[in-house]
């Protein structure tokens, strides 16, 4: 089967001005395209405006101070968002702290160390895993990883790093640490696929030049490849961060959902998305508006992080880098 | 160096030897450092691959036993009652995603054509808008679906299609634009020279030539839409019974996995694994299929 069909020219017998089967003049065609583009633009605007409008009651009745207050108790009119903002940042921080060195090392290995024959297979595997739905990672984290964390990982970390005070409290399995680790696993494919693409655009002449000067393989990677791809790598990390910030279901399943500020890395906590998804069903009135407002806060953070990331990646490797992992 | 050793002492030779030794020891040191650093890279590669493969392995091992006749033919049963299947969720996912595809694919292709044909400021800002839309947290899309549809018409499969479509649309738009841009200008010009209209060129030249690329993009978008959970949790309402009517509340595979996985009953968790396996298989088949298609396209172009 040939996929590329031979283009058929328009029948030459048609007198000028006759409508073809498609019935669209050039002007009509342009209008159709423009109208469709307008639909998308309007949809994006509708999205933004509707969330802003629905979140407004939260700001008009409560002001702005509730965003940074620490108590969440809707039945007593307390809507402190701070525990969830902190939870979101902490979980994301754990994921990113793990993902940056490991992701960079993996991308370097995939781009320059792995033999060419296995490279394609490994890269494809990593990219395919980016397509695994997040709810599946959540299920795995809750059913498989949580008991392992409770019985093995957390006791071990407490005995080794307990003196830091980060690991106080009981070993529960679910909590900040597990959520951060699950997020780390989830953002790895995105991070690796994009990092590999931006690392691969460093010109060969520069690598050869460094080798000719007697640099070892690691020195070439460290002093030529990584600095050359710096901006794009930063973009890849930022994009992965954006993904971690907005993740809902995987985190909601493994974080333990506690509306208090976590006192330890093992504590159950909650994030803005998990707050929204867990309270949406029963919320009415002010609480619902507060949830919309929390969504708006998340949206603003998410759009900012993503815009910066796109700009960074584009400026290194062009608009199509990492397209496979989007 | 052994040759040098036999020569009479000579300050130049001595100095050269000293330099050579220093260089050799520096090289040794750098080589050891390099070896360690590269070893760490390899270790990180393993750390990255192992959990990812473990997830898929667990899903296969735990999910396969759940696949029996009831799994594919019966609907979910109330919590705590053994048995049941996910047929209602399968139907829900097919209907919800199907409607989203039917609306977003034509719209996305036309907008992709618009972006490929225009280079002005309007197109650039729309391109940027589409890229930002791909990065919007999915829970906020759920909120949008709730505000726009559920508040006025109640929970329904259509509200879910709306939210999923919103997530798929920008992916399709950008993939279509990339595919359309890949069509050689000479083909366009040849058609123009024959007096063809732009609409005719689009229909008979641009779209057929770019078709494999477009299909690849659409498959990836569908794979993404199939697994989205958070938007559906806020829009479809859920349904224990079989429901083909998208204006009613519906079940779906991702929300079934989400709701069943936190249940204390082994049967429910088993069902969640089975549903997860089904979802992973479909998503991976779509992703691999799109890749094979893209590879085939590259080969034919060459």
Indicate which CATH number applies to the domain containing A301. Answer: 1.10.3720.10
**pLDDT for A307:** 82
**pLDDT for B101:** 95
Please enumerate in sequence order all residues whose Cβ is within 8 A of that of B301, keeping only pairs 6 or more positions apart, or say none.
Answer: none
% helix / strand / coil in chain A, to the nearest 5? 70, 0, 25
Contacts of B257 in chain A (CB under 8 A): 135-136, 139
Residue B299 pLDDT > 50: yes
Residue B248 pLDDT > 90: no
**pLDDT for B2:** 54
DSSP 8-class letter at A14: S
Residue A8 pLDDT > 80: no
Residue A18 pLDDT > 50: no
The verdict on A91 and A60 lying in the same domain is no
Residue A321 pLDDT > 70: no
Taking CA–CA distances from B141, the nearest residue in chain A reads A47
The verdict on residue A15 lying in a domain is no
**pLDDT for B105:** 94
The verdict on A35 and A98 lying in the same domain is no
The verdict on residue A88 lying in a domain is yes
Taking residue B202's Cβ as centre, other Cβ atoms within 10 Å add up to: 25
- Number of folded domains in chain A? 2
Please enumerate in sequence order all residues whose Cβ is within 8 A of that of A10, keeping only pairs 6 or more positions apart, or say none.
Answer: A20, B191, B194, B195, B196, B197, B200, B204
Tell me the shortest Cα–Cα distance from B98 to chain A, in angstroms.
18
A95: left (phi over 0), alpha (psi -120 to 50) or beta: alpha
**pLDDT for A17:** 47
Q: Is the model's pTM score more than 0.80? A: yes
Tell me the shortest Cα–Cα distance from A172 to chain B, in angstroms.
15
**pLDDT for B138:** 92
Contacts of B120 in chain A (CB under 8 A): none
The verdict on residue A70 lying in a domain is no
**pLDDT for A178:** 94
Taking CA–CA distances from B255, the nearest residue in chain A reads A135
Tell me the shortest Cα–Cα distance from A280 to chain B, in angstroms.
7
The verdict on residue A71 lying in a domain is no
- Average pLDDT of chain B? 87
Residue B147 pLDDT > 70: yes
Q: Give B254's pLDDT tier (boundaries 50, 70, 90).
A: very high
Taking CA–CA distances from B169, the nearest residue in chain A reads A40
**pLDDT for A317:** 61
Q: Which residue has the higher pLDDT, A272 or A15?
A: A272
The verdict on A34 and A181 lying in the same domain is no
Contacts of A137 in chain B (CB under 8 A): 55
The verdict on A144 and A111 lying in the same domain is yes
The verdict on A266 and A291 lying in the same domain is yes
The verdict on A163 and A294 lying in the same domain is yes
The verdict on A30 and A173 lying in the same domain is no
**pLDDT for A319:** 56
The verdict on residue A112 lying in a domain is yes
Domain boundary (A38, A65, A92) is at: A65
The verdict on residue A314 lying in a domain is yes
d(CA A254, CA A276): 15
**pLDDT for A102:** 93
Q: Are B142 and B230 in contact (CB under 8 A)?
A: yes
Tell me the shortest Cα–Cα distance from A106 to chain B, in angstroms.
4
The verdict on A93 and A214 lying in the same domain is yes
Tell me the shortest Cα–Cα distance from A132 to chain B, in angstroms.
6
Structural domain for A240, as ranges: 82-325
Q: Give A2's pLDDT tier (boundaries 50, 70, 90).
A: very low
Closest CA to B84 of B275, B264, B299: B275
The verdict on residue A76 lying in a domain is no
Q: Are A139 and B261 in contact (CB under 8 A)?
A: yes
The verdict on A169 and A230 lying in the same domain is yes
In tens, the pLDDT along A78-135 reads 888 899 999 999 999 999 999 999 999 999 998 888 888 888 888 888 888 888 899 9
Are B166 and A39 an interchain contact pair (Cβ–Cβ within 8 Å)? no
* % of chain A surpassing 90 pLDDT: 29
B139 touches chain A (CB under 8 A): yes
In tens, the pLDDT along A279-302 reads 888 888 888 999 999 999 999 888
Mean pLDDT across A252-267: 87
Q: Are B166 and B142 in contact (CB under 8 A)?
A: no
The verdict on A211 and A272 lying in the same domain is yes
The verdict on residue A185 lying in a domain is yes
In tens, the pLDDT along B10-34 reads 788 888 888 889 888 888 888 899 8
Which residues are bridge partners to A256 per DSSP? A269
* % of chain B surpassing 90 pLDDT: 38
Long-range CB pairs of B4-13 (<8 Å, 24+ gap) are none
**pLDDT for B243:** 83
**pLDDT for A324:** 42
- Average pLDDT of chain A? 84
The verdict on A56 and A96 lying in the same domain is no
**pLDDT for B195:** 86
Are B135 and A323 an interchain contact pair (Cβ–Cβ within 8 Å)? no
Q: Are A103 and A240 in contact (CB under 8 A)?
A: yes
The verdict on A133 and A31 lying in the same domain is no
Are B56 and A132 an interchain contact pair (Cβ–Cβ within 8 Å)? yes
Contacts of B47 in chain A (CB under 8 A): 102, 106
In tens, the pLDDT along B158-196 reads 999 999 999 999 999 988 998 898 888 888 889 889 888
Q: Which of A33-42, A76-85, B77-86 has the lowest mean pLDDT?
A: B77-86
d(CA A135, CA B276): 8
């Amino acid at each position: 089967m040939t996929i590329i069909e031979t283009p058929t020219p328009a029948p030459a017998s048609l007198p000028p001005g006759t409508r073809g089967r498609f019935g669209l003049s050039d002007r009509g065609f342009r209008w159709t395209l423009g109208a469709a583009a307008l639909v998308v633009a309007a949809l994006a605007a509708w999205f933004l405006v509707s969330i802003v409008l629905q979140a407004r009651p939260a700001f008009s009745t409560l002001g702005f101070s509730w965003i940074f207050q620490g108590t969440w108790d809707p039945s007593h009119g307390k809507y402190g968002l701070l525990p969830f903002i902190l939870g979101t940042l902490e979980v994301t921080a754990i994921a990113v702290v793990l993902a940056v060195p490991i992701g960079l090392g993996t991308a370097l290995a995939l781009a320059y160390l792995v033999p060419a024959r296995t490279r394609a297979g490994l890269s494809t595997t990593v990219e395919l895993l980016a397509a695994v739905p997040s709810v599946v990672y959540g299920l795995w984290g809750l059913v498989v990883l949580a008991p392992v964390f409770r019985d093995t990982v957390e006791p071990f970390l407490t005995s080794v790093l307990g003196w830091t005070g980060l690991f106080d409290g009981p070993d529960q399995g679910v909590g900040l640490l597990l959520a951060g680790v699950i997020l780390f696993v989830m953002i790895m494919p995105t991070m690796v696929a994009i990092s590999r693409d931006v690392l691969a655009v460093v010109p060969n002449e520069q690598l050869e030049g460094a080798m000719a000067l007697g640099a070892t393989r690691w020195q070439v990677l460290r002093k030529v490849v990584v600095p050359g791809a710096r901006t794009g790598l930063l973009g890849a990390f930022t994009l992965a961060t954006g993904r971690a910030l907005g993740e809902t279901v995987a985190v909601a399943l493994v974080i333990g959902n506690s509306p208090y500020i976590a006192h330890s890395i093992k504590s159950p906590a909650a994030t803005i998305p998990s707050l929204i998804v867990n309270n949406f069903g029963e919320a009415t009135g002010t609480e619902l508006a507060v949830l919309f407002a929390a969504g708006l806060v998340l949206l603003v953070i998410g759009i900012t992080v993503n815009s910066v990331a796109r700009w960074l990646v584009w400026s290194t490797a062009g608009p199509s880098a990492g397209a496979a992992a989007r | 160096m052994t040759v040098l050793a036999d020569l009479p002492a000579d300050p130049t030779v001595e100095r050269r030897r000293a330099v050579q030794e220093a260089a050799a020891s520096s090289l040794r040191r750098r080589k050891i450092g390099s070896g360690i650093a590269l070893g760490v890279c390899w270790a990180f590669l393993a750390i990255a691959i192992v959990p990812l493969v473990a997830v898929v392995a667990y899903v296969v091992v735990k999910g396969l036993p759940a696949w029996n006749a009831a799994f594919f033919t019966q609907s979910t049963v109330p919590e705590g009652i053994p048995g049941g299947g996910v047929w209602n969720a399968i139907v829900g996912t097919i209907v919800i995603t199907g409607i989203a595809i039917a609306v977003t694919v034509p719209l996305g292709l036309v907008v992709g054509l618009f972006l490929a044909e225009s280079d002005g400021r309007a197109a650039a800002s729309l391109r940027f808008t589409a890229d930002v839309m791909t990065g919007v947290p999915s829970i906020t899309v759920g909120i949008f679906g709730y505000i726009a549809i559920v508040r006025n018409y109640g929970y329904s499969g259509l509200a879910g299609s709306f939210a999923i479509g919103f997530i798929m649309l920008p992916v399709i738009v950008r993939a279509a634009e990339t595919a359309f841009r890949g069509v050689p200008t000479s083909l366009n010009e040849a058609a123009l020279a024959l007096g063809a209209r732009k609409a005719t060129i689009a229909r008979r030249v641009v779209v057929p030539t770019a078709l494999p690329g477009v299909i690849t993009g659409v498959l990836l978008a569908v794979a993404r839409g199939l697994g989205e959970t958070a938007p559906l949790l806020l829009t479809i309402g859920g349904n224990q019974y079989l429901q083909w009517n998208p204006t009613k509340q519906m079940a779906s595979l991702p929300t079934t996995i989400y709701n069943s996985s936190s249940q204390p009953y082994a049967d429910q968790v088993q069902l969640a694994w089975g549903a997860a396996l089904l979802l992973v298989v479909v998503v991976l088949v779509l992703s691999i299929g799109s890749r094979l298609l893209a590879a085939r396209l590259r080969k034919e172009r060459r």
